[in-house]
Amino acid sequence: QVHLVESGGGLVQAGGSLSLSCAASARTLTAYTLAWFRQAPGKERDLVAAITSGGRTNYADSVKGRFTISRDNAKKTLYLQMNALNPEDTAVYYCAATAASIPTSRRELYRNWGQGTQVTVSL
């Protein structure tokens, strides 16, 4: 079982940057693949990026080249650096964990979720 708490959301202008963090409590975080999902109003919760314990990553096409996912297993923290933000990035961002060993985008495989943090990008 993993308890996840996100932080770092907020309001930013288009073209700006924002960094999210997710503090994880688990006996052995390296047993988990971690991910960021996001959900905009009226839309599905979709993968933004995922990272395995070994550093293998998977990004949504819409964020490739703009967002960077990383993790610090010693600090038990997941990060998401978001650059060149645009209004379409506005959503609630969720941290999630799965026991899967690949950076899967399958939402149903993620059993542990944070409470979410709002990111709003204005024109």
pLDDT digits (tens, 9 = 90+) for 22-37: 999 988 888 999 999 9
Output the pLDDT for position 29.
Answer: 86
- Taking all residues of the chain, what is their mean pLDDT, rounded to a whole number? 96
Which DSSP symbol is given to 34? E
Residue 112 has pLDDT above 90, yes or no: yes
Residue 87 has pLDDT above 90, yes or no: yes
Amino acid at 27: R
* Spatial separation of the C-alpha atoms in residues 78 and 50, rounded to whole Å: 10
Output the pLDDT for position 45.
Answer: 98
Burial class (CB in 10 A: 0-12, 13-18, 19+), 2: buried
* Spatial separation of the C-alpha atoms in residues 122 and 15, rounded to whole Å: 9
Report the alpha-carbon angle 62-39-109, nearest 5: 90
Which DSSP symbol is given to 102? S
Output the pLDDT for position 26.
Answer: 85
Q: What is the dihedral of CA 30, 111, 79, 47, to 10 degrees?
A: 120
Output the pLDDT for position 27.
Answer: 82
Read off the pLDDT of each residue in 54-77 and give the average, rounded to a whole number. 97
* Spatial separation of the C-alpha atoms in residues 91 and 68, rounded to whole Å: 17
Q: pLDDT band for position 108 (50/70/90)?
A: very high
